[in-house]
Amino acid sequence: MIKPHGSDELNPLFVYDSSENDALRKEAEGLASIVVSSATAANAVMLGAGYFNPLTGYMTKADALSVAENMKTTSGLFWPTPVLNLVDDAGSIKAGDRIALKDPNVEGNPVLAIMDVEAVEAFSDEDIAMMTDKVYRANDEEHPGVIAFKAQGKVCLSGPIKVLNFSYFQSEFPDTFRTAVEIRNDISERGWKKVVAFQTRNPMHLAHEELCHMAMDRLDCDGLVIHMLLGKLKKGDIPAPVRDAAIRKMVELYFPANSAEVTGYGFDMLYAGPREGVLHAVFRQNMGATHFIIGRDHAGVGDYYGAFDAQTIFKEEVPEGALEIEIFEADHTAYSKKLDKVVMMCEAPDHTKDDFVLLSGTKVREMLGNGIAPPKEFSRPEVAQILMDYYKSLQ
């Protein structure tokens, strides 16, 4: 199986030993504590689940700035985005303290992790501007990722953590949330050797489904891991339970047995385009995928990124050998009226736009909201029904 990023073995930060976990929870009752941001909590979940291997906790100021500037830590580890615990005010917390990190997303704010604070440092306005410019390629107040990043504060608490639970992800998505450890085990048990991963934060329509089939066929893969984001999105995005139901129905009906696995991970969307695409590749390698599909406007939002910037970054900015996972580059896929099947648009040079079945997201949402199923060339009827039922429930 493919090695994890940065180490020979996966090193998840979750405390699996029940007696140690119980002892840390009891210890936490006597520790100073902070309710962290949703982004910090999501980072803890990803660290605990092994997706952020080989990181041992939250980055220092120097590491975060180095990662933003050069995509590597001060020790030389390749990493595409800062992994931080940011607060507005650290209060009396200082280097050497042991603190409890409390979950902002669960009622009662239970302890999510125990942290050994190695440094308390402040970012300047210039530091924040540099990081947003490098990571998000934007620095304005309209970009949802920039807004979320700047809202966390400028004081950085760094140091190793021990994760005690997986926030709301395990309880709310028991059939879907999986750690990198669990997915590696699943891949091994299924006997898959070559595995392609597909990232989604949306329901999958026919073009997405066929793209996965194309990737599996062309790469001669044994299996597909559909890996959906279960964390916070922007306003208007379809909730995770609805996406989950729609994707599961598609896999049940249109994929052969033991060829596809539907899973999810606990993280908040960054909307960081190319840099987030690289982060996605890192943690797909950690979960055992050998290949990863990067399509048009991967992890993008609005018009901030070029259509294929998330592919170009792997050629122009990711050092050779930095990652073992391979990228499957995909163009926009759509149903061809001429060929009577879904194709990558770049592979149909004799087509005009009128030769494809193309519907905007706005148009699809409008149709679904009015109880009208998109054409079968765009969406499987069983998937469309689940989405129509969701939009009907909003009325």
CA–CA distance, 203 with 146 (Å, rounded to integer): 25
pLDDT score of 234: 67
Handedness of CA 180, 182, 184, 186 (dihedral sign): negative
Place of tokens 């590749």: 281
Q: What is the pLDDT along the chain (395 residues), one digit of tens a residue?
A: 999 999 999 999 999 999 999 999 999 999 999 999 999 999 999 999 999 999 999 999 999 999 999 999 999 999 999 999 999 999 999 999 999 999 999 999 999 999 999 999 999 999 999 999 999 999 888 999 999 999 999 999 999 999 999 999 999 999 999 999 999 999 999 999 999 999 998 899 999 999 999 999 999 999 999 999 998 766 777 888 899 999 999 999 999 999 999 999 999 989 999 999 999 999 999 999 999 999 988 999 988 999 999 999 999 999 999 999 999 999 999 999 999 999 999 999 999 999 999 988 789 888 998 999 999 999 999 999 999 999 999 88
pLDDT score of 1: 92
Domains contained in the chain, CATH given = 18-170 (3.10.400.10), 175-394 (3.40.50.620)
pLDDT score of 198: 98
Which residues on adjacent β-strands are paired with residue 3? none
Q: Is 202 a catalytic residue?
A: yes
Q: Is 70 a catalytic residue?
A: no
* CA-based nearest residue to 51, from 305, 269, 289, 348: 289
User: Which one from 25, 98, 190, 201 is the annotated catalytic residue?
Assistant: 201
CA–CA distance, 316 with 311 (Å, rounded to integer): 9
* CA-based nearest residue to 153, from 229, 80, 91, 67: 91
Three-state DSSP state, 386? helix
pLDDT score of 232: 74
Omega before residue 239 within 30° of 0, cis: no
User: Which one from 202, 218, 275, 365 is the annotated catalytic residue?
Assistant: 202
pTM over 0.75: yes
pLDDT score of 191: 96
Tokens of 116: 């050994």
Element housing 105 (H / E): none
